[in-house]
Amino acid sequence: MYDTLPDLLPLHPKVRQLLQACAGAGGRAVLVGGCVRDALLGLPGADLDVEVHGLAPDVLREVAAGLGRVDEVGRAFGVFKLRLGGQQLDLSVPRRDSKVGSGHRGIRADADPHLGLVEAARRRDLTVNAIAWDPLNGELIDPFGGRADILARRLAAVDARSFDEDPLRALRVAQFVARFGFTPVPELLEQCRSMEVSGLPAERVRGEVEKLLLRGKQPSAGWNFAHTTGLWARLVPEWDQPSPLALDRLAAAPIEHAPRRLALLLACTAPPDPLSRVLDQLKVHRWHGYHVADQARALSAAASRGHDPRPAPTRARWLAERLEVGLFAELVDDRPLLEAAIALGVEQAPLMPLLGGHDILALGVRPGALMGGILGKLRTAQLDGHVSSPEEALAWARRQLR
Instruction: Delimit the domains of the chain by residue range.
Output: 1-152, 357-401
Has residue 143 got a pLDDT over 70? yes
Residue 298 confidence class, pLDDT cut points 50, 70, 90:
confident
Task: Dump pLDDT digits (tens) for 12-59.
Answer: 889 999 999 999 999 999 999 999 999 999 887 668 899 999 999 999
**pLDDT score of 172:** 93
Pick the most confident of 208-222, 254-268, 303-317. Answer: 208-222
**Helix, strand or coil for residue 85?**
coil
Q: Picking from 196-205, 311-320, 343-352, which range would have the lowest pLDDT averaged per residue?
A: 196-205
pLDDT at 77: 66
More confident residue, 65 or 308: 65
99 compared with 259, residue with greater pLDDT? 259
The residue-averaged pLDDT of 162-173 equals 91
Q: Which residue has the higher pLDDT, 394 or 72?
A: 394
**Candidate from 26-40, 99-113, 215-229 with smallest mean pLDDT:** 99-113
| Mean pLDDT of the 263-277 span | 74
**Which pLDDT belongs to residue 223?**
86
Q: Is the pLDDT of residue 131 over 80?
A: yes
Checking if the pLDDT of 305 tops 60, the result is: no
Which pLDDT does position 3 carry in this prediction? Answer: 44
Per-residue pLDDT tens for 54-103? 999 999 999 999 888 888 876 666 789 988 877 778 999 998 876 555 55
Q: Which long-range contacts (CB under 8 A, 24 or more apart) does 17-25 make?
A: 17/67, 17/84, 18/50, 18/63, 18/64, 18/67, 18/82, 18/84, 18/89, 19/50, 19/135, 19/136, 20/136, 21/63, 21/66, 21/67, 22/52, 22/55, 22/60, 22/63, 23/136, 25/55, 25/59, 25/63
Residue 104 pLDDT exceeds 60:
no
The pLDDT of residue 1 is 39
Q: Pick from 164, 54, 26: which is nearest to 111 by CA?
A: 54
The stretch 341-355 carries a mean pLDDT of 93
Q: What is the mean pLDDT of the chain?
A: 85
Higher pLDDT, 389 or 209: 389
Considering the domain delimited by 1-152, tell me its CATH architecture. Answer: 2-Layer Sandwich (3.30)
Mean pLDDT throughout 317-343? 85
Output b/e per residue, 289-327; b: 16+ Cβ within 10 A: ebebbebbbebbebbeeeebeeebbbbbbbbbeebbbbb
Question: Band of the pLDDT at 302, cuts 50, 70, 90?
Answer: low
Confidence check: pLDDT of 105 > 70: no
> For 155-164, 272-281, 317-326, which range has the lowest pLDDT when averaged over its residues?
272-281
pLDDT of residue 4: 53
**How many other CB atoms are found less than 10 A from the CB of residue 153?**
12
Confidence label for 276 from pLDDT (cuts 50, 70 and 90): confident
Looking at residues 383-388, what average pLDDT do you find? 94
pLDDT of residue 106: 53
Over range 236-243, report the average pLDDT.
Answer: 73
Query: Mutual orientation of helices 219-228 and 168-180 as an angle, nearest 10°?
Result: 150
195: pLDDT strictly greater than 80: yes
Residue 6 has pLDDT above 60, yes or no: yes
